[in-house]
Amino acid sequence: MSNIETIRGFVVENFLFGDGEQLTDDMSFLENGIIDSTGILEVISFLEETYGISIQDDELVPENLDSINNIAVFVENKLALVPDSQERHVG
């Protein structure tokens, strides 16, 4: 499963009660009321646990986390920074 599919699956399951028909990969979560400010905390925990990455405070910005596409690019960039010796948890 690709990162985009994994992220989409999480968002649809947890915030749209399984109905992801209207959700596009570039849709803003906040502007469209898909995920609220506390829901973002759930997304952060999911990404840290699923991909074994550590997200810093200054990375908690919309350009990293406010759509499926933004998250996928952010995750790929984070994983690229993980040293080869460290195990990667990819979805």
Partner 1 sequence: MQFNLDVLKINCAEETKRVTQFVTEQVAKGYRRKGVVVGLSGGIDSAVMCALAVEAVGKDKVVGLILPERESNPVSSQYAVSHAKELGIEFREIDITPTVDSVASYSQRDEFIRKLIPGYTPGCKYNITLPTDLLDRASFNFYVLQVKLPDGTLEKKRLNLEEFRTITSFANIKIRSRMIHLYAEAERRNLIVAGTTNRTEFILGDFCKYGDGGTDIEALAHLYKNQIYQLADHLAVVSEIIDRAPSPDTFSLPVNDQEFFFRIPFDKLDFLLYAWEHQVPVEQTSKVLDISDEAVKRAFKDFASKNHATAHLRVPAYSLDGDVS
Tell me which residues touch partner 1 (CB under 8 A).
30-31, 33, 36-38, 40-42, 44-45, 57-58, 60-63, 65
Q: For partner 1, which is the closer residue by CB, 23 or 30?
A: 30
Q: For partner 1, which is the closer residue by CB, 66 or 72?
A: 66
Token pair of 6 as six digits = 């994994």
Q: Which long-range contacts (CB under 8 A, 24 or more apart) does 71-77 make?
A: 71/7, 71/43, 71/47, 72/3, 72/4, 72/7, 72/25, 75/3, 75/7, 75/47, 75/51, 76/3
- Considering the complex, what minimum distance in angstroms separates the CB of residue 76 from partner 1? 20
Q: For partner 1, which is the closer residue by CB, 6 or 64?
A: 64
